[in-house]
Structure 1
Amino acid sequence: MVSELATRIGAELLGQGADIEIDEVCALDEASAAGISFVSARKYLPALRATRAAAVILTPELAAEAPCACLVVDNPTLAFARVVELLHPRRPPPAGWHPSAVVAASAQIHPSASIGALCVIEEGVVIEAGVEIGPHCVIQRDSLIGEQTRLVAAVTVCARSLIGKRVLLHPGAVIGREGFGFARDGERWIRIPQIGRVRLGDDVEVGSNSAVDRGAIGETVIGDGVKIDNLIQIGHNVEVGENTAMAACSGISGSTRIGKNCTIAGAVGVAGHLEIADDVHFTGMAMVTRSFEQAGAYSSGIPAMPSADWRRSVARFRHLDEMARRLRRLEEQVTELQDAQPRSSPERWRENSDKTA
């Protein structure tokens, strides 16, 4: 019922409909008479006024606009996430091994863990209580998978990786592969063996087809609560502080250290061996080529513009050095002319007045 949900998420219930049974979450414009939705901003007011949902989660200032029961909270998005967990709980797979899984004799697997079809668990692996290993996953030798961690499917955990508790690794994630390290031998590239490992903290999430490279020497460290979106590359020996979040298609080059509570928007590129302070926020497509020691928001890149304007701008880029040199010469000429001009009568009068005083 609506009233029960309000109690479970700590919301204030306003309006009619406290006894309506709720059986699904839905979008405002696709809501049913048994559905619940949420509003996070005023731009959704038209959809809110027209919704057919039985109840809506929203902030106090929007409650008067709703045509249905209101669950009033300060953070509707967070409250909605909790409602989704309550109404649509995930069913964990049964404990045990699928018959097609290949498990080394020396692997230590807790009886409550679940190993899916076609998985490979190598020598020396430790899998703790409540772990779920989905189909087609590979856990290489001497790795540790912490309690309640879930590998959805086709995840590769390379040798000696340490995965914390309640970690979520989405399909295609690769943890602990050898990083991009090469030395020149004449015209050839020779691989530098990467002999370190990866350490993921507790409550980390890694998105689909993202990669976290092992340390060349030492560890690549991903702190507790870090959230990594899809298609992200994290180089060797990178350190990411607690509760930092990275959006899709970003890349972090080797040996960079990123602080706590940072946000890295989509398609951001971060160069190597940099120091990024706590609470730094990079907007989309920023190119980070230096260290940032102060918290704050930082941007770079060129916003999209009409193609004709962009072509004209690009054509002028090649002339910027010449234009700068011409401007500098003009400034020098203006300065020379000013120095050569005799002072005006008012200037001489002020000078004589000063002497008289």
Structure 2
Amino acid sequence: MKSTQFRLDELARHVNGQVIGHSDLSISALASLAAADAQSISFVSHEKHLADAQQSHAAALIVTEQLRLRLPQQQNFIVVENPYLAFALLSHVFEHKVLARGIEATAQIAESAIIAEDAYIGHYVVIGEHCVIGSNTIIQAHSTISDGTEIGRDCFIAHHVAFDCAVKVGDRVRIHSNTVIGGEGFGFAPYQAKWHRIAQLGSVRIGHDVRIGSNCSIDRGALDDTILENGVIIDNLVQIAHNVVIGENTAIAAKCGIAGSTKIGKNCILAGGVGVVGHIEIADNVQLTGMSMITKNILQAGTYSSGTSFLETGQWKRAAIRFKQLADVPLTKIVKQLDHMQAQIESLETILKLRK
């Protein structure tokens, strides 16, 4: 693949930065400090990376003014307030983009579907009745768009994504391979020792600027819709059950599971492996640490954790025995023992004071 060349001052304009050094320096790649060569630009976001920056072969570095002054051996810089943000912005400049537009001959599209002229529909894509695909949206091979689905502008739908009901998708949404949007929710009514399936009649609504990773399942609602609001970002291998509502700009890391009818607020962070039971509410600005299990409402912002941190195996086994022993002792007995210990400590403190 032919590499694209950019002048250093061109890249600086993309990030509203100041060039120090040769403004016409040619750059063809964005790279890490360790892998960068004489055609690459890299970034330094913290002083702990200064030693690596001093050893780097990068042609130019993205830095703050304070960090630039500590790299006197380097000659070419883009100076910005936030190097990591500048790196994020430049990653789009160097990103491989799908430039093809139009509809591949192998795609199957219902006559009632409306496809923007500048959209791209890949090989073997199936688009159902009354679907709408917005301007500059890309749908890659083997994806399936069911009847009544609407996908906005500038979206990217990767290979083998399935929309299983009349989903509504906003603008600038990215959904990665093998994810299912609008699959049947896990709804059953128990009666006479049998599970009776509940038909799921809702759909899924996805706001603008949402990102969903690969191998995720976003179930449709039982009656009302499952909702992902603007700016939500979801990692790979995440399960979101029916009727869940996720607030704006909430981030969910890999292998989280959220049970049905739970409402999660804005600007929350769920670290990897978090589990959330159904029918509860989590407030705005809540952070849940990895592997936490949330079993009741969280109504105040803050950081919450559950589970046991790792120990050496022998220590963990001894601790597990103590946990079991603790569970077998009534709470009132423990409190009485603590009160007795406190009284003994106070008695010893009084004796020591008298001796002085």
2:100 counterpart of 1:93: yes
User: Which residue number in structure 1 is paired with residue 34 of structure 2?
Assistant: 29
CA RMSD of aligned residues (A): 2.2
Q: Deviations over 1:137-161 (max 9, x none)?
A: 0001111111221111100011111
What is the correspondence of 1:174-193 to structure 2 with a 5 Å cutoff? Answer: 174-193=180-199
Q: CA 1:261–1:335 in 2, change beyond 3 Å: closer, same or farther? A: closer
The equivalent residue for 1:312 is 318
Q: How does 1:1-357 map to 2 (within 5 A)?
A: 1-14=7-20, 16-66=21-71, 67-68=73-74, 69-88=76-95, 90-95=97-102, 97-324=103-330, 326-328=333-335, 330=337
Contact 1:257 1:274 in 2 (8 A): yes
Contact 2:213–2:234, Cα closer than 8 Å, also in 1: yes
Given the superposition, is the C-alpha separation of residues 140 and 319 from structure 1 closer, same or farther in structure 2, using an over 3 Å criterion?
same
TM-score (norm 2): 0.88
Distance 1:332 1:55, change over 3 A: closer
Q: Return 182-191 or 227-236, whichever deviates more.
A: 182-191
Cα distance in 1 for residues equivalent to 2:89 and 2:250: 21
2: CA distance, partners of 1:173 / 1:108 = 23
CA pair 133-219 structure 1, distance change in 2 beyond 3 A: same
Shift of 1:12: 2.7
C-alpha separation in 1, matches of 2:306 and 2:104 = 50
Deviation at 1:187, TM superposition (A): 2.4
Whole-angstrom CA distance in 1 between matches of 2:37 and 2:337 = 71
Aligned partner of residue 175 in structure 1, secondary structure: strand
3-state SS of the aligned residue for 1:319?
helix
Q: TM-score, normalised by structure 1?
A: 0.88
SS in 2 for 1:196: coil
For residues 35 and 198 of structure 1, the distance between their equivalents in structure 2, rounded to whole angstroms, comes to: 43
- The structure-2 alpha-carbon separation of the partners of 1:184 and 1:24, relative to structure 1 and needing over 3 Å to count, comes to same
Corresponding residue SS for 2:242 = coil
Alignment deviations for residues 139-187 of structure 1 (CA, whole Å, 9 cap, x no partner): 0111111122111110001111111111111001111111111111322
- CA distance in 2: counterparts of 1:327 and 1:280, whole angstroms: 32
The answer to whether the 8 A contact 1:223-1:241 is kept is: yes
Residues 318/114 of structure 1: CA separation in 2 closer, same or farther (3 Å cut): same
CA distance in 2, matches of 1:322, 1:99: 69
Does the aligned pair in 1 maintain the 2:44–2:63 contact within 8 Å?
Answer: yes
Asked whether the 8 Å contact 1:196–1:217 carries over to 2, the reply is yes
TM-superposed CA distance for 1:134, in Å, is 0.5
Contact 1:17 1:54 in 2 (8 A): no
- The residue aligned with 1:355 is none
Q: Which has the larger radius of gyration?
A: 1
Where structure 1 has 5 or more consecutive residues not aligned to the other structure, the ranges are 338-357
**d(CA) in 1 for partners of 2:157, 2:116:** 16
* Other-structure match for 2:348: none
What does residue 350 of structure 1 align with?
none
Alpha carbons of structure 1 residues 109 and 308: separation in structure 2 relative to 1, 3 Å: same
Cα–Cα, structure 1 residues 102 and 334, in superposed 2: closer, same or farther, change >3 Å?
Answer: closer
Residue 269 and residue 331 in structure 1: after superposition, are their counterparts in 2 closer, same or farther (change >3 A)?
closer
Q: How many residues align?
A: 336
Give identity over the alignment, percent.
Answer: 41
Contact 1:48 1:65 in 2 (8 A): no
**Alignment-mate amino acid for residue 77 of structure 1:** Y
Rounded to whole Å, the distance in 2 between the matches of 1:206 and 1:334 is 54
Contact 1:49 1:65 in 2 (8 A): no
- Write the distance in 2 (CA, Å) between the matches of 1:28 and 1:61: 18
Structure 2, unpaired ranges of 5+: 1-6, 345-356
Using the TM superposition, give the Cα deviation of residue 335 of structure 1 relative to its aligned residue in structure 2, in angstroms.
10
